[in-house]
Amino acid sequence: MIKRLSGLVVVIFGVLLLTFLLIHVVPGDPVEVMLGDSATQADRSQLRIELGLERPLAQQFAIYLTKITHGDFGQSIHTKTPIANLIKTHYPATLKLATLALLIALTIGIPLGIYAALKADQWQDLVVTLVSVRLSAMPAFWLGPILMLVFAVYFGWFPVSGMESNTSIILPALTLGLGLSAILTRMTRTSLLEVLNDDYIRTARAKGLSESTVILRHALRAALLPIITIVGLQMGSLLAGTVITETIFSWDGIGRLLVESIEKRDYPVTQACVLVVAFSYVLVNQVTDLVYRLADPRVKG
């Protein structure tokens, strides 16, 4: 446990170091790049002092760490808004989107995977596999536009973009969730089929339990274990996928904030967005690990 915790500390420190270094990777003078040619000499030296760029690198990092631990992300170069406030307004939107996407993925993926496993090698299984293989090869910037064309433009059921209406969240959440559901379907199918040949399933059947009890109470419990890990790992691509999806659907979350900050060369905001998303992912991974430990009595330590 202590070893794991120390590993976690190193990872968090490394993530902070890497995001801190981002601004120093900028070729040439970052202040010049951020402010552009039209800025006056006074503006430049003011920003340089604001960002502390004139200090030695190690000292800059120490100051960065102190600020972050106090929840101070600095301020946006262009709007001068504290970045912490920007994060506070944008993060919940991303969280909402990612959560709904995960729910969609779970409610579609797992039942469909069970269905495919029960109908293994029949035509229903084939159809499910064909669809899910294709769906998992669809990146967000291709699935998103299709959903938008079909459900927003052609049928007009949902708004094309924005987040004003209550149903605005549906299409971006589907864009994020469907790809994950395809992966979950395939995983559930494979791992359920593996389990169904085990001795204890035969025993359960021999005891005269109904087929649904055998599947739901005995087989699924063991089959879902690897799914937990997959969901945890896939949360990473889900979080990264929000960047593209939010841009397509004009969903005002962290991803869109990130893209906008890149376009405006507002690097402190870029830095903060990357940091927040990476921290969320680290947290998700820790929780996944914990859930896995609780769910599988064999894993200890």
Partner 1 sequence: MHLNPDLIDLHAILSVPSEHYWLGADDLGRSLLARLLRGVEVSFLVAITVTTVTMCIGVLVGVIAGFYGGKVDWLLMQVTDIFLAFPGILLAIAFAAVLGPGIINLMIALCLTGWVSYARLTRGQTLSLRNRQHVQASESLGAKVPRLIAFHILPLLTSILVVEATYSIASVIIAEASLSFLGLGIQAPNASWGAMLRDGVRYMLVAPHYVLVVGFSLMSLILAINLGGDYLRAALNVQADA
> How far apart, in whole angstroms, are the C-alpha atoms of residue 212 and residue 216?
6
Q: With beta carbons less than 8 A apart as the criterion, state whether 227 and 191 touch.
A: yes
Least distance in angstroms from the C-beta of 141 to partner 1? 5
* Per CB under 8 A, 235 contacts partner 1: yes
Q: What are phi and psi of 109, to 5 degrees?
A: -65, -50
Indicate the helix (H) or strand (E) that contains 300. none
Total interface residues for partner 1 by CB under 8 A: 52
Binder among 20, 73, 158, 267 for partner 1 (CB under 8 A): 267
For residue 113, give every residue at least 6 positions away whose Cβ sits within 8 Å of its Cβ, in sequence order, or none. Answer: 184, 185, 186, 187, 188, 189, 192
Site string for partner 1, 150-189 (x = CB under 8 A): ---x------------------------------------
Task: Give the binding range for partner 1 (CB under 8 A) out of 7-15, 84-92, 162-170, 292-300.
Answer: 7-15
* Per CB under 8 A, 236 contacts partner 1: yes
Binder among 51, 93, 170, 278 for partner 1 (CB under 8 A): 278
Least distance in angstroms from the C-beta of 204 to partner 1? 27
> How far apart, in whole angstroms, are the C-alpha atoms of residue 61 and residue 232?
31
Alpha-helical runs (H) found in the chain: 2-25, 30-35, 41-51, 57-69, 83-118, 123-136, 140-147, 170-196, 199-206, 211-213, 220-249, 254-263, 267-295
> How far apart, in whole angstroms, are the C-alpha atoms of residue 205 and residue 156?
49
* Per CB under 8 A, 281 contacts partner 1: yes
> How far apart, in whole angstroms, are the C-alpha atoms of residue 214 and residue 84?
51
> How far apart, in whole angstroms, are the C-alpha atoms of residue 173 and residue 189?
24
Task: Give the binding range for partner 1 (CB under 8 A) out of 68-76, 143-151, 169-177, 205-213.
Answer: 143-151
* Per CB under 8 A, 228 contacts partner 1: no
* Per CB under 8 A, 149 contacts partner 1: yes
Cα 264 to the chain's mean position, in Å?
Answer: 24
30 vs 204, beta carbon nearer partner 1: 30
* Per CB under 8 A, 243 contacts partner 1: yes
Site string for partner 1, 16-55 (x = CB under 8 A): -xxx--xx-xxx-----x----------------------
| Chain residues in the site for partner 1 (CB under 8 A) | 7, 10-12, 14-15, 17-19, 22-23, 25-27, 33, 133-134, 137-139, 141-142, 144-146, 148-149, 153, 235-241, 243-244, 247-248, 258-259, 262-263, 267, 270-271, 274, 277-278, 281-282, 285
